Structure 1
Amino acid sequence: MSVVPGLVSITFRQLGVGEILALLRRTGLEAVEWGGDVHVPVGDVAAAKRTAAATADHGVRVAAYGSYYRAGDHAPADFDAVLRTAVALGAPRIRIWAGAAGSADLTTQQRAGVVGDVRRITELAAGEGVEIAVEHHPGTLTDTLDSALALYAEVGHPGLRPYWQPRLGLGPAEAVHEAGALLPGLVTVHVFSWTADGVRLALADGAPLWQPVLGTVAGASAEAGAERYALLEFVQDDDPEALVRDAVTLRSWLGGG
């Protein structure tokens, strides 16, 4: 598959690393983004190495290290531990957030501070062969497509890659437009299905949005001969059985049976 199905580990903060890996084997999901708050704590290099070995033993690939580093908000030195941990984990990229305030709430100077820090950490990570991936998230500089595209252009570094996930209430046509606008840099989509007021649904209920979005991403991946990731997150009731069901849906959409 040109789009690899996987899981964001913080979907199940209540489970240990071994339990998550067993669940991945059960569901046929092939990749994991390990979270930096519970499963692979920032600065715990020994835990990162153990998790890397266990992940490889299960035949699962590490898609990313899911940090909670907020560019322009954390102390600059905080990123050093994030990068060390990601390298020990064997993560090809580190997920971050672009600041701690929405694009409409920042002054020009404050925005420049976030952009400058994203550029700084992207250069640091590139020195270790690691990419920086920016999650599209409310309350950050990626809260609108225009602001996100401006951020990527301002940073201007090939090691900076977009993540994408739908905002609440986003319609299918706009979702396809956003995902398409982020290509070819887009490397990962976080896949979940919510109502406009935040009620979690079975992934199958999100077919009108996700099937065309994933089709767009898969088409770009096949054309370029590049792999991208579709990582499940936010399942109903934080229930592993919900993941089992959603994984069947996702893999069927991606052509994996």
Structure 2
Amino acid sequence: MVGSATMKAGLVSITFRALSPERIIEAVADAGLRGIEWGGEVHVPTGQLGTAEVIARRTREAGLEVVSFGSYYKFCECLVGDPKVASPSYDAVLDTAEALGAPAIRIWAGKQSPEAVEDIVFFRIVEQAQRFAAAARERGLRLDFEFHGRTLTETATSTARLLDAIDRPNVRTLWQPPLQTSPEVRLAGLRQLEPRVTNLHCFHFGQNPWPHIRPLQEGEDEWKRYLAALEPVRNLGRWALIEHVREASLEAFREDAAALKTWLTAVS
């Protein structure tokens, strides 16, 4: 199986939380990338539809695409005794994604690792995800789970279990290298999920924990294996999105962007 350069390269905006949307758009265009996943915490706050519309227009005017709305919807209403602030309603998330012109919404599968989640909570999340998916489908939107530790999508196996239970065609998963696991484990997990993976979040920590990020170029051997594991027929709609760069540096971002573009070409 050989990957394809039809996969496009972009940026996750929360990589640069301190930068304005205008500066992010400029940096992405200058780096020769093609799209942005706009984050819902800082750059496009959920419910601020006017802001979403302005950023959508400016993104398009720069010749870039809106890849996704990176929401922080975490199914808090399904959790037991959660004292933290609740997720935004999924209606507000849908409205914001629509105003942004995003084809997909990034969502989070709760706030706990799978082994810590009781069955009743798991099935509450499944039922709520099915309702969310139905509402999203009416608007032509897809839901992509963040592939992340301390959620129900912590591992490839737990992600597959959740997606199997939800069983909706517009509910998929993102993928990124799980921290502090071996390249072999990461690759096996990607292959397990590959038909259900939409976009990739690209970074390199090596065997280091957060926040000790390394240059993406240092992960070349690993990333070429990951990209080559993707089925070309499914790559047409996929994005490889840079997330996390050293010291939130624009220079580091440009270096990582150059490496990623080279790899996407090499596996074509």
| TM-score (norm: length of structure 1) | 0.94
- The 3 A distance-change label for structure 1 pair 75 and 127 is farther
Give the equivalent residue in structure 2 for 1:204. Answer: 217
| Structure 2: gaps (5+ residues) | 80-84
C-alpha distance in structure 2 between counterparts of 1:58 and 1:128, whole Å: 25
Tell whether 2:244 aligns with 1:234: yes
Aligned residue runs from structure 1 range 175-214, under 5 A: 175-198=186-209, 199-214=212-227
For each residue in 1:170-215, what CA deviation from the matched residue of structure 2 results, as whole angstroms up to 9, or x when unmatched? 2222222211211222111100001323211000111122111012
For each residue in 1:113-132, what CA deviation from the matched residue of structure 2 results, as whole angstroms up to 9, or x when unmatched? 11112222111111110000
Give the equivalent residue in structure 2 for 1:27. Answer: 31
Across the aligned residues of Structure 1 and Structure 2, the Cα RMSD in angstroms comes to 1.7
Give the equivalent residue in structure 1 for 2:233. Answer: 223
Identity, in percent, stands at 34
1:244 pairs with 238, 250, 254, which one? Answer: 254
C-alpha distance in structure 1 between counterparts of 2:190 and 2:134, whole Å: 25
SS at match of 2:221: helix
2:154 pairs with 143, 149, 153, which one? Answer: 143
Tell whether 2:177 aligns with 1:166: yes
SS at match of 1:70: coil
Moved over 6 A (4+): none
Query: How far does residue 223 in structure 1 lie from its aligned partner after superposition?
Result: 2.9
For each residue in 1:7-64, what CA deviation from the matched residue of structure 2 results, as whole angstroms up to 9, or x when unmatched? 0000001111110010011100111100001111100000101011101001111110
C-alpha distance in structure 2 between counterparts of 1:6 and 1:178, whole Å: 23
| Structure 1: gaps (5+ residues) | none
SS at match of 1:37: coil
- The 3 A distance-change label for structure 1 pair 224 and 41 is closer
Aligned residues of 1:171 and 1:209 also touching (Cα < 8 A): no
Tell whether 2:75 aligns with 1:92: no
Residue type of the partner of 2:222?
Answer: L
For each residue in 1:201-236, what CA deviation from the matched residue of structure 2 results, as whole angstroms up to 9, or x when unmatched? 00011112211101222xx1x334732110001100
Give the equivalent residue in structure 2 for 1:131. Answer: 142
C-alpha distance in structure 1 between counterparts of 2:106 and 2:201, whole Å: 12
